[in-house]
Amino acid sequence: QKEVEQDPGPLSVPEGAIVSLNCTYSNSAFQYFMWYRQYSRKGPELLMYTYSSGNKEDGRFTAQVDKSSKYISLFIRDSQPSDSATYLCAMTWAGKSTFGDGTTLTVKP
Amino acid sequence: NAGVTQTPKFQVLKTGQSMTLQCAQDMNHNSMYWYRQDPGMGLRLIYYSASEGTTDKGEVPNGYNVSRLNKREFSLRLESAAPSQTSVYFCASSDVGGIQSYEQYFGPGTRLTVT
């Protein structure tokens, strides 16, 4: 069983939709929970990170962590075509990150 | 700042050939990493270096070697390339080694095909 499991997708939504991306994990030692965005043929870039259970908001993006359920989510409100990318969850412990397999999102105008 | 740079961007090798992928960062980061990314499989850690002079195996180290040449540079070597090593390779760096680090900065990737 993988330490990090990510909903596989792909997801295709109309512009303006609310998008929910999800990951589960098994290692209780994970301390930081991140979401990276990766555009086609580019390297991943950090979108958001959280340290504790709860919600963290940044503009149209909300990251949610539930440590008791070992579950994290990324919500995108009012999705835009520019949000079309692959989203990778990642979790860090002792300086190393473990990544989910990624969910590819397409937002159609 | 260039961030994390990787060379080459593309490479085609024949089975059995060797090559070195180069990575450099100009952010004065302690930790550096090599990942491979295959379709539908996310990023898998090959090797990492928590600080200059140290290297450790990641999840998929077989067939690879690394050298942390100095604080800036971390190279990945394929001694005898195999078709299973066809992948996109990403180098990354991180500000603080150990338990406090989280954000990794990625290079643009090297697309390697082994025929």
Whether residue B101 has pLDDT greater than 70: no
- CA B106 from chain centre, in angstroms, equals 10
Whether residue B62 has pLDDT greater than 90: yes
Residue A71's alpha-carbon distances to B18, B25, B55, B61, in angstroms, are: 42, 33, 31, 29
Count of CB pairs separated by less than 8 Å, A with B: 60
Average pLDDT taken over every residue of chain B: 92
DSSP assignment letter at B73:
B
pLDDT tens column, A50-89: 888 889 999 999 999 999 999 999 999 999 999 999 999 9
State the residue for tokens 């990492």.
B48
Question: Residue A109, class by beta-carbon neighbours within 10 Å (0-12 exposed, 13-18 middle, 19+ buried)?
Answer: exposed
Model pLDDT, residue A95: 72
pLDDT tens column, B24-33: 999 989 889 9
DSSP letter string over B12-54? EE-TT--EEEEEEESS--SEEEEEEE-TTS-EEEEEEESSTT-
- Rounded to whole angstroms, the Cα distance separating B63 from B11 reads 17
Whether residue A31 has pLDDT greater than 80: yes
Reference A11, options A2, A1, A3, A22; nearest CA is A22
Residue B102's alpha-carbon distances to B21, B33, B38, B55, in angstroms, are: 24, 13, 23, 18
- Rounded to whole angstroms, the Cα distance separating B36 from B14 reads 19
Q: For residue B107, what are the β-bridge partners?
A: none
Q: For residue A44, what are the β-bridge partners?
A: none
Check B42 against A96: CB less than 8 A apart.
no
Whether residue B99 has pLDDT greater than 50: no
Judged by a CB distance cut-off of 8 A, whether residue B48 touches chain A is yes
State the residue for tokens 């490479």.
B11
Check A94 against B99: CB less than 8 A apart.
yes
- Could you tell me what percent of chain B has a pLDDT over 90? 77
| A16 Cβ neighbours under 8 A, 6+ residues apart | A78, A79
- Rounded to whole angstroms, the Cα distance separating A49 from A57 reads 10
Judged by a CB distance cut-off of 8 A, whether residue A47 touches chain B is no
Closest chain B CA to residue A30 = B99
Whether residue B96 has pLDDT greater than 90: no
Angular region, B84: left φ>0, alpha ψ -120 to 50, beta rest: alpha
Judged by a CB distance cut-off of 8 A, whether residue B25 touches chain A is no
Check A46 against B108: CB less than 8 A apart.
no
* Cis-peptide, bond into residue A10, ω within 30° of zero: yes
